[in-house]
Amino acid sequence: MKIIRKSCAQGAREAEGLAVIIDVFRAFSCEPLFFHFGAERVILEADPEKARALKREHPEYILAGEVNEVPLEDADLGNSPSEILRKGRGCFHGKTVIHRTTAGVTGVASAMACAEEVLPGSFLMARAIAEYALRKRPPVLTLVAMGSRALDKAPEDEACADYLEHLLQATPYDPVHALQQILFQHTAQKFLRGDKPYLPREDPVLCLQRDLFGFVLRVTREADGLVVTPESPAEG
């Protein structure tokens, strides 16, 4: 299995084989929580206006997302794992969630055009993703760290790719060094300052937890868009 490292929007457009699209802060830390709280499925929609239109067509759906971190207009919630925790099972159980984000969701949409299979990635699902990949043994695995707004590399996404490489190929990984590189940079500090309500301090605490969930998320193209469903690594 050949592992290729890519970053940001260009990396997603160049993804090959089995592609893991990594967005730690915060898209793909939110998605496993949707399913943990009983969501039936998640629809990924990169276009914010199409996401809002889908919500108007299906008012029973939950619309979650952001544009450049600011909560999407008319959304039920932003792109915050701590907000999901506060709302809990009563909000998501049995529901369809429409999810729109600037980096992670757009990265998945791009990768679906070129990769054979696409998995959303974060620390929360890293070990399950590694187990899935080791079971499938694709000729090529592309790790795409989506970065800040899919434009610039972000230390948390690069560190998650490092961790996945460690799990897949036993390369060195120092979790303390990773935290040192992440916590004092802008991508974490903008949360920790606490000066914007849509960037809560609690989010990095949740997003940097490793291996909380024992499932992967697979993306398939269906009639109503890109649909995410959970799957056990053993089912791959």
Cα separation, 209 vs 156, in Å, equals 11
pLDDT of residue 140: 98
Which pTM does this prediction carry? 0.97
Indicate if the pLDDT at residue 188 is higher than 60. yes
The CATH code that applies to domain 2-231 is 3.90.1560.10
Cα separation, 204 vs 206, in Å, equals 5
Tell me the pLDDT band of 168, cut-offs 50, 70 and 90.
very high
Fill in the amino acid letter for 129.
I
Task: With CA atoms as reference, report the closest residue to 30 among 68, 63, 60.
Answer: 63
Distances (CA, A) of 6 to 20, 36, 107, 140: 10, 29, 11, 13
pLDDT of residue 224: 86
Indicate if the pLDDT at residue 208 is higher than 60. yes
Query: Burial, 190: exposed, middle or buried (Cβ in 10 Å; 0-12, 13-18, 19+)?
Result: middle
| pLDDT, tens only, 12-62 | 999 999 999 999 999 999 999 999 999 999 999 999 999 999 999 999 999
The residue count of the chain comes to 236
| pLDDT, tens only, 109-134 | 999 999 999 999 999 999 999 999 99
Cβ distance 125 to 217 under 8 Å? yes
- Cα of first residue to Cα of last residue in the chain, in angstroms, is 16
Average pLDDT over all residues of the chain: 97
- Above pLDDT 90, what percent of the chain? 98
pLDDT of residue 236: 55
Give the residue-averaged pLDDT of 216-220.
98
Task: Sketch the domain layout of the chain as residue ranges.
Answer: 2-231
